[in-house]
Structure 1
Amino acid sequence: MAVRPEGTPCWADAMFSDLEGAKSFYGDVLGWTFGEASSEYGNYTQAYADGKAVAAVVPPMPGQEGQSQWCLYFASPDAAATAGKIRANGGEVLMEPMQVGDFGTMCLGREPSGAVFGVWQAGVHEGFEAQSVPGAYGWAEVFTREPEKADRFLTAVFPYTAQQMEDDAIDFRMFNVGDETVLGRMKMTEEFPPEVPSYVNLYFVVADCDDAVAKATKLGAVLRFGPMSSPFGRFAALTDPQGANFSVIDLTTTEGEVPRTTPV
């Protein structure tokens, strides 16, 4: 598998104070199995879908206990250079580039409207071993109340071209790397409680959205939105029992026509 082009989502992980609880929940909802915890790297534990690495879970480091959240990493050929671009364009570097053995180099940033994300310069760990199949990462969107700030930042830090969806009901923009659409940006509406900060929402693929929602809510997750069918698939937004937001999507159940977009 080749290293992904700069700006392409390439990995996801989350900190959970109850690691065994998280493994049980996502194992049931997404069908994940888990590798051995790597004590050398803070008990970092990879999750697998059908034998392929798709994400990781890790207990919080001392002093980092708080609400769990998923972090999406974007590919970079040079994490230090990307950190410089984050700073130069009004973002904040939360964790300086750090080499993780021979796996690669990571860095954490926050874009100007508040969403936290990761940067990954691949070494031997090139990222997702599977995508867009059940149990794997499928899509992500930056949810923000200040789209102008987020849009300006994203296109300055990564080599994106952008398209605005022609829809009066929502303010939605898509970012491309070459011909591939890799990320969405949604303006948060008044429906979002004011205390909810900007965040990156990850979609994990499932074979049946309604079935996944039923399993998740039975295990203590909160259904935030959906299930709803769209031209892109049938999806729902959830908050897991430890407070991490994520979405599930069945890519095979589509409804309606894909909206038109305008280059911006």
Structure 2
Amino acid sequence: MAVQPEGTPCWADAMFSDVEGAKSFYGDVLGWTFGEASSEYGNYTQAYSDGKAVAAVVPPMPGQEEGPSQWCLYLASPDAAATAGKIRENGGEVLMEPMAVGDFGTMCLARDPSGAVFGVWQAGQHEGFEVISEPGAYAWAEFFTREPAKTDDFLTAVFPYRAKQMEDDAIDFRIFDVGENTVLGRMKMTDDFPPEVPSYVNVYFAVSDCDDAVAKATKLGGVLRFGPMTSPFGRFAALSDPQGANFSVIDLGTTEGEMPKTSEV
């Protein structure tokens, strides 16, 4: 795939204290295979679906605190330094200054004003996902936040998004478009979420059979958090892997119901 327009999700990775365990889990659940660990870049290891790069896993760097694992979604930027400046100007926090990763590109880690951590990627030789929305590949992502107004204002100030609100009294859900493409969602966290769970970005990976993926994940020590449920967008479920990283799986081919109406905001 080519370099993605600014604000489009373009890569995902996660840090695991037990990288081999993560490779085994995601290999079974999502069918991933893995490349050689790159010792030059902290044993960063790319994951592949059907031979195409879809994500990466990496062990903690020496001295890093042992927090729970989590997936990090990277949003495309033509200029990571300029994006870092916008993040600061609009109430976000830059956790890791823009850093060149060899010839691959430039990365930056940040936190939105509600506490959700995400990455910024300025592509070099590594343009990001080589495939999306196919089984084993990235499909979708949502910012889960307790303070939707803060997140909404922040995202539209930092990235060239056009926002639309879903017309549904049951949930507070907003989507963000880049050009003609809907690229990201934002969900208000309800009281169903334990208070200790911070705002976070939930990454969805496509699967050919949601129930089968859930069965494999739970058999291997994953925890089912929600679903499976069939929606107009696909049949999906929310999970935590054995090391605590949240993610979702979605079968994009199994849908039910009418697409919800949205209104520009």
Band of TM-score, shorter chain: over 0.9
Amino acid in structure 1 at the alignment position of 2:18: D
Amino acid in structure 2 at the alignment position of 1:155: T
Amino acid in structure 2 at the alignment position of 1:112: P
* 1:63 CA drift (Å): 2.6
Q: Does 1:25 align with 2:25?
A: yes
For the aligned residue pairs, the C-alpha RMSD in angstroms reads: 0.4
Q: Residues 151-162 of structure 1: matches in 2 within 5 Å?
A: 151-162=152-163
Structure 1 stretches lacking a partner, 5+ long: none
Q: Residues 162-173 of structure 1: matches in 2 within 5 Å?
A: 162-173=163-174
Amino acid in structure 2 at the alignment position of 1:18: D
Output the CA distance in 1 between the equivalents of 2:79 and 2:224. Answer: 38
Output the CA distance in 2 between the equivalents of 1:226 and 1:4. Answer: 31
Q: Residues 85-96 of structure 1: matches in 2 within 5 Å?
A: 85-96=86-97
* 1:104 CA drift (Å): 0.2
- Per-residue CA deviation, residues 30-84 of structure 1 (Å, 9 max, x unaligned), is 0000000000000000000000000000001123221100000000000000000
Residue aligning to 1:210: 211
Output the CA distance in 2 between the equivalents of 1:72 and 1:130. Answer: 15
Q: Give the SS at the match of 1:211.
A: helix
Q: Does 1:60 align with 2:60?
A: yes
- Per-residue CA deviation, residues 230-257 of structure 1 (Å, 9 max, x unaligned), is 0000000000000000000000000000
Runs of 4+ in 1 over 6 A off after TM superposition: none
Output the CA distance in 1 between the equivalents of 2:159 and 2:63. Answer: 31
Q: Does 1:106 align with 2:107?
A: yes
Residue aligning to 2:248: 247
Residue aligning to 2:175: 174
Q: Residues 1-264 of structure 1: matches in 2 within 5 Å?
A: 1-64=1-64, 65-264=66-265
TM-score by length of 1: 1.00
Amino acid in structure 2 at the alignment position of 1:204: F
Structure 2 stretches lacking a partner, 5+ long: none
Output the CA distance in 2 between the equivalents of 1:164 and 1:134. Answer: 28
- Per-residue CA deviation, residues 143-186 of structure 1 (Å, 9 max, x unaligned), is 00000000000000000000000000000000000010000000
Output the CA distance in 2 between the equivalents of 1:61 and 1:231. Answer: 41
Q: Percent identity?
A: 86
Output the CA distance in 2 between the equivalents of 1:62 and 1:193. Answer: 31
Q: Give the SS at the match of 1:23.
A: helix
Output the CA distance in 2 between the equivalents of 1:63 and 1:250. Answer: 39
Output the CA distance in 2 between the equivalents of 1:29 and 1:9. Answer: 22
Amino acid in structure 2 at the alignment position of 1:137: Y
Q: Give the SS at the match of 1:143.
A: strand
TM-score by length of 2: 0.99
* 1:99 CA drift (Å): 0.1
Amino acid in structure 2 at the alignment position of 1:32: W
Q: Give the SS at the match of 2:242.
A: coil
Aligned residues: 264
Output the CA distance in 2 between the equivalents of 1:247 and 1:61. Answer: 26
